[in-house]
């Protein structure tokens, strides 16, 4: 069988879903004219370059959006600072680069290639919080009590320097005692203390969120691996204490940003997840393992159920998580106006939640940054409500399109990987059941396909055995029978 060109296939999927995968000439000219990163700005900018900032991200990540720092206060509380790359300083509103970013609205990560929202000279260079370089940033600060409650919040602009670029596997393995400390951590007592402190406060934040009803989910993400142009494996990425640390800090930071803007009377773009429409199916899934959930949607009850299931059956917890995610439905962006009730985020059990911590990768975060700057400077709002509503709708549309692109490329890679295994049987979980078809994800390798025979009676979350009957790598089709 001839291998397909996954990079070219990904580009075609981008175009099909309405993206512009290449940067137009006016964007390239505009970015080429930028000679250096911004280190000066009008208004008050605090100089925080002496603090021991560090970043934790995927090993392959080069577009670094955030760094972290923590310090213990005299009363035992912990002050946490999350520095966010000041992308707006080099991507002004209305510029060619901004217009293109506003069209695509997000970076798209396909495993075999990345389609960045911003040109790499910016996203991995001048607007990235790279190690040992001075960068302008927006700092989101919050003080956390020992029990994980947040006592105070503040947002301001600063100049900072990332002293250590770290990655999730290295930090997570060390914090969990599975591997030695990463070299940069082992070489610095100050950094070791920093990360231990950050891990401790992150766990306290997580405990407090769980008590409030935040859902502890863990879905499996599979990245295609290739060798000489041929797919050789689907690599799984699982959460660890390193990913948890950053997730906990980013959630607290995004809540802080939303709360800050509301307190200043500013409209904003919120990230919302509505109450699940298929709660009855979630209740039915709980019954299959002897658990009873309330008849009406209840995030604290669901959160505690998930915690118990993770402890009781960690091997199959990602499968349960996937089913719950599918039944909850995707998040979306919406306009939030002061004085009006927020729709909230069911999965995080919070009413006020923005996206503000990844402005190199998500347009909504860049827009939020501009709203924040206008508030801090005492200027008129950076955007009117009608414009914000249109941006929110566009971001929701293109985020859904990005998921389709990423899923299509994963399917193409999986179809190529399984092409010589026709007739074999696989354990699987049902991931979708609708008039469009019934879909399953095999457990090993994690490949998704359609059940074309014997699908009657199957529903999301069911564990089934299926037989591979056909693959079409060029179209990303994998067909199973029961």
Query: Helix, strand or coil for residue 450?
Result: strand
Distance CA 283, CA 153 (A): 37
Instruction: Answer left, alpha or beta for residue 110, where phi above 0 means left and psi between -120 and 50 means alpha.
Output: alpha
Instruction: Quote the pLDDT of residue 1.
Output: 47
Distance CA 42, CA 39 (A): 10
DSSP string, 24-57: -HHHHHHHHT--S-----SS--EE-TTS-EEEEE
On whether the CB atoms of residues 195 and 203 are closer than 8 A, the answer is: no
List per-residue pLDDT tens for the chain, 482 residues long. Answer: 456 888 999 999 999 999 999 999 999 999 999 988 877 777 789 999 999 999 999 998 999 999 999 999 999 999 999 999 999 999 999 999 999 999 999 999 988 899 999 999 999 999 999 999 999 999 999 999 999 999 999 999 999 999 999 999 999 999 999 999 999 999 999 999 999 999 999 999 999 999 888 888 877 677 787 777 678 888 777 789 999 999 999 999 999 999 999 999 999 999 999 888 889 999 999 999 899 999 999 989 999 999 999 899 887 788 788 888 888 888 999 999 988 887 889 888 888 999 999 999 999 999 999 999 999 999 999 999 999 999 999 999 999 999 999 989 988 999 999 999 999 999 998 988 888 899 998 988 889 899 999 999 998 888 999 999 999 998 899 999 99
On whether the CB atoms of residues 391 and 422 are closer than 8 A, the answer is: no
Instruction: Quote the pLDDT of residue 2.
Output: 52
Q: Is 379 exposed, middle or buried (0-12, 13-18, 19+ CB in 10 A)?
A: exposed
Torsion of CA 29, 35, 38, 39, to 10 degrees: 180
Distance CA 333, CA 345 (A): 11
Distance CA 242, CA 233 (A): 24
Radius of gyration of the chain measured on its C-alpha atoms: 23
pTM of the predicted model over 0.85? yes
Sign of CA dihedral 297, 299, 305, 309: positive
Token pair 């990463």 is found at 182
Backbone angles phi, psi at 322, to 5 degrees: -60, -45
DSSP string, 377-429: HTPSPSS-HHHHHHHHHHHHHHHHHHHHHHHHHHHHHHHHHHTT-TT-EEEEE
Distance CA 93, CA 16 (A): 27
Task: For strands 477-481 and 150-167, give the pairing.
Answer: unpaired
Distance CA 255, CA 249 (A): 10
Token pair 């100089």 is found at 47
Count of C-beta atoms within a 10 Å radius of residue 271: 26
Which domains does the chain show, CATH number per domain?
A: 6-264 (no CATH), 279-328 (no CATH), 419-481 (2.40.50.140)
Query: Helix, strand or coil for residue 396?
Result: helix
């Amino acid at each position: 069988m001839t291998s397909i060109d996954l990079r070219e296939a990904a580009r075609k999927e981008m175009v099909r879903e309405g993206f512009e995968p290449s940067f137009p000439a006016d964007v390239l000219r505009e970015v080429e004219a930028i000679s250096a990163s911004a280190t000066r700005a009008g208004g008050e900018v605090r100089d925080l370059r002496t603090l021991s900032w560090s970043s934790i991200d995927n090993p392959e990540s080069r577009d670094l959006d955030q760094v972290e720092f923590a310090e213990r206060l005299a009363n035992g509380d912990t002050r946490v600072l999350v520095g966010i790359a000041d992308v707006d300083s080099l991507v002004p509103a209305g510029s060619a680069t901004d217009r293109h970013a506003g069209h695509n609205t997000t970076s798209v990560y396909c495993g075999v290639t990345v389609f960045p929202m911003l040109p790499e000279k910016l996203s991995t260079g001048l607007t990235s919080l790279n190690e040992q370089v001075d960068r302008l940033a927006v700092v989101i600060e919050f003080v956390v009590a020992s029990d994980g409650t947040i006592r105070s919040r503040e947002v301001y602009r600063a100049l900072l320097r990332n002293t250590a670029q770290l990655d999730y596997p290295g930090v997570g393995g060390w914090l969990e005692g599975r591997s030695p400390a990463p070299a940069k951590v082992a070489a610095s007592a100050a950094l070791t203390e920093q990360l231990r402190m950050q891990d401790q406060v992150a766990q306290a934040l997580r405990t407090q969120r769980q008590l409030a009803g935040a859902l502890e989910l863990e879905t499996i993400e599979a990245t295609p691996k290739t060798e000489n142009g041929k797919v050789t494996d689907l690599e799984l990425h699982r959460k660890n204490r390193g990913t948890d640390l950053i997730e906990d800090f980013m959630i607290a930071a995004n809540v802080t940003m939303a709360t800050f803007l509301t307190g200043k009377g500013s409209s904003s773009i919120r990230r919302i997840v509505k109450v699940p429409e298929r709660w009855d199916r979630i209740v039915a899934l709980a019954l299959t393992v002897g658990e009873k959930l309330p008849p009406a949607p209840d995030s604290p009850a669901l959160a505690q159920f998930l915690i118990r299931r993770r402890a009781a059956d960690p091997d199959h917890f990602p499968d349960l998580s996937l089913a719950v995610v599918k039944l909850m439905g995707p998040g979306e962006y919406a306009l939030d106006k002061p004085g009006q009730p927020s729709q909230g985020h069911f999965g995080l059990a919070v009413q006020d939640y923005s996206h503000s911590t990844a402005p190199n990768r998500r347009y909504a975060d860049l827009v939020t940054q501009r709203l924040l700057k206008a508030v801090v400077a005492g200027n008129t709002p950076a955007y009117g409500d009608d414009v914000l509503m249109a941006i929110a709708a566009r971001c929701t549309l293109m985020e859904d399109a990005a998921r389709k692109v990423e899923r299509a490329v994963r399917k193409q890679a999986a179809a190529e990987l399984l092409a010589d295994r026709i007739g074999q049987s696989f354990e699987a979980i049902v991931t979708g059941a609708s008039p469009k078809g019934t879909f399953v994800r095999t457990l090993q390798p994690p490949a998704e396909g359609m059940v074309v025979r014997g699908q009657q009676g199957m529903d999301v979350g069911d564990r089934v055995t299926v037989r591979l009957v056909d693959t079409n790598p060029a179209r990303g089709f994998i067909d199973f029978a029961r």
